[in-house]
Amino acid sequence: MRHRMAAAGLALIGLLVSIYLLLYKVGVVGSLRCVGSGGCERVNTSSWSSFLGVPVAAFGVAGYLVLLGVAMYGLRADQLERPRATGWLAVLSAVGVLFSLYLLALELFVIHAVCLWCTVSGVTILAIFVVSAAALRRPSRAPAP
């Protein structure tokens, strides 16, 4: 149960970060709060900040919403003993980790700037994967009645 709680909390943090980045991309947030000399803005205004014509941050919002939904579903009383939700969390977050690695490679080798908020999102998705994969190896037990 605790790993699903952790996954839900992390997914919520990732969702909030993605919403912030998406609002910047669509012009609602005027400038990003970022450490360093504008790496966040450089990354988020580059041509790589959209994927298939959709802002990358929108994929983040959608992905974290799904992860949050799966984690919350897994916390239902009838799902606590079943490993399916944890499996889905592991699979979906693995896809997210791969996508984050692709974005990190773009930042380091193509855009030559690192975006703090994108890194926070990358670490978050990695943490969800680690938590879920660890729980899959050691299935959680429902509390004793």
Partner 1 sequence: MAEAGTTLRTFYIVLGLIAVIGIVLIVRAATSHPSAPIVMAECSGPPLGGPPAVGHVLGPDSAPVQIDEYSDFECPFCARFAIVTMPDVRERLIPTGKVRWRFMDFPLQGHTKSPVAHVAASCAADQGKFWEMEDALYGDQNTWVEEKNPEGKFLEYARRIGVNTDSFRVCLQERRPWPRIEATRCLGEKLAVGGTPTFFINGRQLAEPTLAYDDLTRIVDSIAALAAARTPAKRR
Side-chain-facing half-sphere of 45: CA atoms under 13 Å: 10
| 13 part of the interface to partner 1, by CB under 8 A | yes
Q: What are the distances in angstroms from CA 104 to CA 31, 36, 69, 133?
A: 21, 17, 26, 22
Structure tokens at 141: 């037990």
Binding positions for partner 1, 35-64, rule CB under 8 A: 37-38, 41-42, 44-46
| 23 part of the interface to partner 1, by CB under 8 A | yes
| 110 part of the interface to partner 1, by CB under 8 A | no
SS3 content of the chain, % helix, strand, coil (to 5): 70, 5, 25
3 phi, psi to nearest 5 deg: -65, -35
| 69 part of the interface to partner 1, by CB under 8 A | no
| 70 part of the interface to partner 1, by CB under 8 A | no
101 vs 112, which CB is nearer to partner 1?
112
| 65 part of the interface to partner 1, by CB under 8 A | no
Instruction: Please give the residue ranges that form the binding site for partner 1 (CB under 8 A).
Output: 1, 5, 8-9, 12-13, 16, 19-20, 23-31, 33, 37-38, 41-42, 44-46, 75, 80, 142-143, 145
